Amino acid sequence: VHLKGLPVIVSNGSRDPMISYEETMRLEQQLRERGAEVTDLPHPGGHRIDQDTLERAAMILRTLDVRAG
């Protein structure tokens, strides 16, 4: 599957009990190998997205919306 130019946001908490840092890095690498434009938004929490990370993701999504418009 080719993902050339597809923007992808990946966020993983450093204390996530379900998905390790290594698994996240493998996913990011696989996405990049297929051409995706990966943005990594790590956070210090667990298996959730904290408010700061959510706000950073929203800012990225607004930027994408402006580029597409």
pLDDT exceeds cutoff 80 at 53: yes
State the average pLDDT for the chain.
Answer: 92
Q: What is the pLDDT of residues 32-43, one digit of tens each?
A: 999 999 999 999
- SS3 of 37, please? strand
Q: What is the pTM of this model?
A: 0.84
Task: Name the residue with tokens 């938004």.
Answer: 41
In 3-state terms the chain splits into helix, strand, coil percentages (rounded to 5) of: 45, 15, 40
Q: What is the pLDDT of residues 17-30, one digit of tens each?
A: 999 999 999 999 99
Backbone angles phi, psi at 27, to 5 degrees: -60, -45
